[in-house]
């Protein structure tokens, strides 16, 4: 066991070294963490609440006040502070993105592991299901799902409905990725050894398969989160968000519906979109780098300028290292 | 796998997907409170219970949901009878057909532009690998991927209407509504500029990336080296040997992108109040017009499934490795 722990430590250190060398990953992490910190520290960074109306010296509500009249980002059509809405909106957008992404990861990994490990009809069923879902246009599907769920009066808030719909539709790519990884892992010697000494399926999956695919799951989750945040913004823009808990997408829905564009109120419709790009870009950059480090079979990546082996001799990928200790 | 098996598999997949879509579309809207009879009687409470029951019997709603109602409804759909819209009080099928042309115009223009530009830029980026153009192209596609389509539309709308005096929405100016298409063509074109531009920017990046990696792969093949050794110029190698082979993945991408295109259409038509299927979908969503949503989803899904299958069939024709196997 202690041998295994040292190996894990060495691998983490190697991971950190590789990661530090990678400029794209660093940029991604910085983008993501600035938003995380800003959203957590929201109450410290603004004196207002998102619903507060800003009033001028005469006590009148300031509608569409520009940043020069009311800093730092002006006010919206109802005189509410845009900067405050942006900070609190980050909480909603990130929560939906992270929870939905996590949900998709759990479903996808579970199905991927089962399909890859047991093969047979489970595997065929999974692969055909993902084939079918690849073809069905996902936005219209999500729109009608959200619309029906809201009509049914399930008692869940619109935010929860969004999370569930994104979560249960975004697992297919994860399932395929994990499945292919499990297919190769289960052929390795340490699994055969475990089986030979009488280990059951559940033991092998828990002790040998899951630790091996875990890093890849993490990398994939970060990528799924970026898609989830983008999708959430779109669904909310189309009016499916919770108006009492406005995310960035809902802010853009308000800005668009309440003619921020024709009023030239750029401070109302530019910042939420920039924030979405910022976070999505952060997740994509970070996720791609994590995937590169964790998945030695990815010899090159489409975002990478040159084709090269990712597994460098001085940094054995996490998965390979633990194998020796098992 | 030989070609016939491949074709059969693809056709079977399309049929299964179609069945899933139809089933989902039927049951999703059937779990809603109330039944389709509401479309006929509306909120008129004065219609007696007997009349309501008679109407239910007439529409077959007294029979079990499955299999009787299900197959009856699917049969109706197959004949193009998609029910009556709650908000517009017109047959859903007719409403959809009326909007189809506008959407096809936008999608075709946007797709053609993004494919042509994407292929050209991707080719150039791959050819001049690691040059400033290449790095710029990669950065562009990454940022374009992370940008919400509707937000890009809003920015272009704000910029285009403020600085270029372009129209903010619609198909034609209000005064030109109802005039013959050819007469108002310049006006239609002016209204198409911004939506098409949004469309092109959104989809350009992906075509560029695929083309770039595809051409890089092809250029490392032996037959390219042979062609160079024969003394062909760079341009000849590219045109005669590399381009044709590198174009194959683009066909697959077009097919895969169709579903994604539908999302783009919904966002872009909403932002530019462009009177097509996407805008219709958003309006139906807003007004909770379920028969219209149901019909629009069916049409969009079927269109994507069929187009996808055609692209797969086209692929088998284009790729000799599949064709002759």
Residue B279 structure tokens: 């805008």
Place of tokens 């997740």: A283
Q: Do B304 and A132 touch (CB under 8 A)?
A: no
Tell if the CB–CB gap between A302 and B209 is shorter than 8 Å.
yes
Q: Say what the alpha-carbon torsion angle B49, B54, B56, B59 is, to the nearest 10 degrees.
A: -160
Does any CB of chain B come closer than 8 Å to the CB of residue A270?
yes
Q: For residue B91, report the phi and psi dihedrals to the nearest 5 degrees.
A: -60, 130
Measured in angstroms, the CA of A11 and the nearest CA of chain B are apart by 30
Distance from CA of B186 to the nearest CA of A (A): 24
Is the Cβ pair B271, A135 closer than 8 Å?
A: no
Interface-testing mutation among A24, A35, A131, A137, with chain B (most B C-beta atoms within 10 A): A137
pLDDT for B323 = 57
Whether A315 shows a pLDDT value over 50: the answer reads: no
Please confirm whether the linkage preceding A142 is cis (ω < 30° from 0): no
DSSP tag of B46? T
Predicted confidence (pLDDT) per residue in A205-216, tens digit: 998 899 888 888
Quick one: average pLDDT of A55-83? 82
Distances (CA, A) of B135 to A30, B48, B59, B114, B140: 21, 71, 62, 19, 8
> Where residue A321 falls among pLDDT bands split at 50, 70, 90?
very low
Q: What is the mean pLDDT of residues B250-272?
A: 85
- Facing residue for B288 by CB, picked from A132, A147, A233: A147
Question: Does the distance separating the beta carbons of A148 and B130 come in below 8 Å?
Answer: no
The Cα B303–Cα B100 span in angstroms is: 11
Q: Which residue of A has its CA nearest to B288?
A: A147
- Which bin fits A49, alpha (ψ -120 to 50), beta or left (φ > 0)? beta
CA distance B109 to B111: 6
B120-145 pLDDT tens trace: 898 888 888 888 888 888 888 889 88
Q: Which domains does chain A have, with CATH numbers?
A: 80-296 (1.10.3720.10)
Range with the poorest average pLDDT among B60-69, B211-220, B268-277: B60-69
With beta carbons less than 8 A apart as the criterion, state whether A147 and B288 touch: yes
Model pLDDT, residue A322: 32
**Running DSSP on this structure, what letter comes out for residue B174?**
G
Structure confidence at residue A296 as a pLDDT band (50, 70, 90): low
Which chain B residue lies closest to A274 (C-alpha atoms)? B147
Mean pLDDT (whole number) for A105-129: 92
Report CA dihedral (A173, A179, A182, A186) to the nearest 10 degrees: -170
Query: Over chain B, what is the mean pLDDT?
Result: 84
Which residues in chain B have their CB less than 8 angstroms from residue A139's CB? 262-263, 266
A108: pLDDT strictly greater than 90: yes
d(CA B53, CA B238): 71
- pLDDT range class, residue B322, cuts 50, 70, 90: low
pLDDT over 50 (residue B47): yes
Does the beta-carbon distance from A151 to B17 stay under 8 Å? no
Q: How confident is the model at residue B59 (pLDDT cuts 50, 70, 90)?
A: low
Query: Who's near A269: CB < 8 A, 6+ residues apart?
Result: A252, A255, A256, A260, A261, B151, B154, B155, B158
Task: Please give the share of chain A, as a percent, with pLDDT higher than 90.
Answer: 40
Instruction: For chain B, say whether A145 makes contact (Cβ under 8 Å).
Output: yes
3-class DSSP assignment, residue B208? helix
Contact at CB, A147 and B157, closer than 8 angstroms: no
pLDDT at B86: 80
Q: Which of A164, A170, A171 shows the shortest CA–CA distance to A145? A: A164
pLDDT score for B150: 95
Q: What is the pLDDT of residue A102?
A: 95
pLDDT of residue A304: 42
Round the average pLDDT of chain A to a whole number and report it: 83
pLDDT for residue A317 is more than 90: no
Give B201's pLDDT tier (boundaries 50, 70, 90): very high
* pLDDT over 50 (residue A287): yes
DSSP string computed for A282-324:
HHHHHHHHHHHHH-TT----TTSSS---SS-TTS--HHHHHHH
Instruction: Give residue B34's pLDDT.
Output: 64
The mean pLDDT of A106-118, rounded to a whole number, is 93
Element (H, E) at B189: helix B185-219
Residues in chain B with CB shorter than 8 Å from the CB of A128 are 13, 16
Residue contacts between A and B (CB atoms, under 8 Å)? 158
Which residues from A are below 8 Å from B213, CB to CB? 302
Q: Is residue B324 very low, low, confident or very high in pLDDT (cuts 50, 70, 90)?
A: low
Contact A140 B281 (CB under 8 A): yes
Which residues of chain A neighbour B308 with C-beta distances below 8 Å? 135
Mean pLDDT of A182-190: 88
Q: Which residues of B touch A147 (CB under 8 A)?
A: 285, 288, 290, 293
| Cβ–Cβ contact A277 with B under 8 A | yes
Q: Which residues contact B203 (CB under 8 A, 6 or more apart)?
A: B110, B111, B114, B118, B257, B260, B261, B264
Q: Which residues from A are below 8 Å from B166, CB to CB?
A: none
- pLDDT at residue B273 tops 80: yes
Cα B232 to Cα B238: distance, rounded to the nearest angstrom:
10
* Cβ-nearest to B20 among A132, A151, A281: A132
Give the model's pLDDT for residue A308. Answer: 39
Name the closest residue on chain A to residue B147, using Cα atoms. A277
Of B65-74, B128-137, B271-280, the one with minimum mean pLDDT is B65-74
Cβ-based contacts of B297 with chain A (< 8 Å) = 140-141, 143-144
Which of B13, B138, B270 lies at the smallest CB-CB distance from A238?
B270
Per-residue pLDDT band for A276 (boundaries 50, 70, 90) equals: very high
pLDDT exceeds cutoff 80 at B39: no
C-alpha distances out from residue A5 to A8, A9, A16, Å: 5, 6, 16
With pLDDT > 70 as the criterion, what percentage of chain B qualifies?
92
B148, B219, B262, B287: best to mutate for the A interface, most A CBs within 10 A: B148
Average pLDDT (A250-275) is: 91
- Tokens at B45, concatenated: 């409470």
Q: Is the predicted pLDDT of residue A313 greater than 70, yes or no?
A: no
Instruction: Kindly report the pTM of this predicted structure.
Output: 0.86
Give the pLDDT score at A319. 33
pLDDT, residue A323, reads 33
Q: Which residues of A touch B16 (CB under 8 A)?
A: 128, 132
Residues of A in contact with B262 (CB under 8 A): 137, 139-140
Taking contacts as CB-CB distances below 8 angstroms, the residues of chain A near B218 are none
Residue with tokens 């272009």: B156
Shortest Cα distance from B285 to chain A (angstroms)? 7
- % of chain A residues with pLDDT over 70: 89
Confidence band for A14, pLDDT divided at 50, 70 and 90:
confident
Residue B221 banded pLDDT, cuts 50, 70, 90: confident
Per-residue pLDDT, A99: 96
Q: How far is CA B61 from CA B29, B34, B52, B56, B255, in A?
A: 14, 12, 11, 5, 39
A54 to chain B, minimum CA–CA distance in Å? 26
Average pLDDT over residues B235-257: 81
Query: What pLDDT sits at residue B88?
Result: 85
Measured between CA atoms, the residue of chain A closest to residue B138 is A303
User: Is residue A245 over pLDDT 50?
Assistant: yes
In A, which residues are within 8 Å of B154 by CB distance?
252, 255-256, 261, 269, 273
Mean pLDDT of the region B100-112: 91
């Amino acid at each position: 066991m202690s041998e295994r722990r040292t190996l894990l430590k060495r691998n983490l250190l190697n991971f950190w070294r590789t990661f530090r060398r990678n400029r794209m990953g660093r940029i991604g992490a910085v983008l993501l963490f600035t938003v995380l910190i800003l959203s957590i520290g929201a109450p410290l960074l603004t004196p207002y609440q998102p619903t507060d109306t800003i009033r001028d010296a005469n006590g009148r509500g300031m509608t569409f006040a520009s940043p020069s009249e009311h800093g730092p980002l002006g006010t919206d059509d109802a005189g509410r502070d845009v900067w405050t809405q942006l900070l609190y909106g980050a909480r909603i957008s990130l929560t939906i993105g992270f929870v939905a992404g996590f949900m998709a990861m759990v479903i996808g990994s579970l199905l991927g592991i089962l399909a890859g490990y047991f093969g047979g009809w489970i595997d065929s069923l999974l692969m055909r299901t993902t084939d079918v879902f690849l073809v069905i246009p996902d936005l219209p599907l999500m729109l009608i799902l959200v619309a029906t769920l809201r009509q049914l009066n399930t008692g869940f808030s619109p935010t929860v409905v969004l999370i569930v719909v994104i979560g249960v539709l975004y697992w297919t790519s994860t399932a395929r990725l994990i499945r292919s990884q499990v297919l190769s892992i289960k052929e390795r010697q340490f699994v055969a050894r475990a089986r030979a000494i009488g280990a059951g399926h559940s033991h092998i999956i828990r002790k040998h398969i899951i630790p091996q695919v875990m890093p890849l799951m993490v990398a994939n989750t970060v990528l799924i989160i970026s898609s989830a945040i983008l999708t959430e913004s779109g669904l909310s823009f189309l009016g499916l968000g919770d108006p009492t808990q406005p995310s960035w997408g809902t802010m853009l829905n308000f800005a668009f519906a309440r003619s921020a564009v024709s009023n030239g109120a750029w401070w109302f419709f530019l910042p939420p979109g920039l924030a979405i790009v910022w976070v999505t870009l952060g997740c994509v950059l970070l996720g791609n780098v994590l995937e590169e480090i964790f998945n030695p079979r990815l010899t090159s990546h489409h975002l990478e300028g040159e084709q090269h082996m990712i597994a460098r001799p001085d940094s054995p990928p996490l998965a390979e290292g633990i194998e020796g200790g098992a | 796998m030989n070609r016939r098996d491949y074709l059969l598999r693809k056709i079977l997949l399309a049929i299964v997907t179609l069945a899933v879509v139809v089933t989902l579309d039927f049951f999703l809207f059937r779990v809603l409170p109330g039944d389709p009879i509401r479309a006929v009687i509306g909120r008129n409470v004065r219609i007696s219970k007997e009349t309501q029951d008679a109407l239910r019997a007439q529409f077959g709603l007294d029979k079990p949901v499955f299999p009787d109602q299900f197959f009856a409804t699917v049969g109706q759909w197959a004949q193009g009878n998609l029910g009556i819209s709650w908000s517009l009080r017109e047959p859903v099928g007719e409403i959809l057909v009326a909007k189809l042309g506008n959407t096809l115009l936008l999608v075709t223009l946007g797709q053609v532009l993004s494919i042509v530009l994407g292929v050209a830029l991707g080719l150039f980026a791959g050819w001049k690998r690691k040059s400033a153009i290449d790095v710029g192209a990669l950065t562009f596609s990454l940022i374009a991927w992370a940008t919400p389509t509707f937000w890009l539309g809003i920015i272009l709308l704000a910029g285009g209407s403020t600085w270029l005096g372009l129209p903010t929405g619609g198909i034609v100016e209000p005064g030109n509504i109802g005039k013959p298409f050819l007469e108002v063509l310049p006006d239609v074109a002016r209204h198409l500029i911004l939506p098409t531009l949004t469309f092109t920017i959104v989809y350009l990046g992906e075509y560029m990336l695929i083309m770039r990696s595809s051409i890089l792969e092809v250029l490392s093949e032996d037959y390219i080296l042979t062609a160079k050794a024969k003394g062909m110029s760079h341009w000849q190698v590219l045109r005669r040997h590399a381009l044709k082979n590198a174009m194959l993945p683009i066909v697959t991408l077009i097919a895969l992108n169709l579903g994604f295109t539908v999302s783009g259409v919904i966002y872009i038509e909403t932002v530019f109040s462009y009177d097509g299927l996407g805008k219709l979908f958003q309006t139906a969503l807003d007004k909770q017009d379920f028969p219209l949503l149901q019909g629009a989803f069916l049409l969009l899904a079927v269109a994507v499934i069929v187009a996808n299958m055609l692209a797969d069939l086209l692929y088998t024709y284009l790729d000799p490795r599949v064709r002759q196997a």
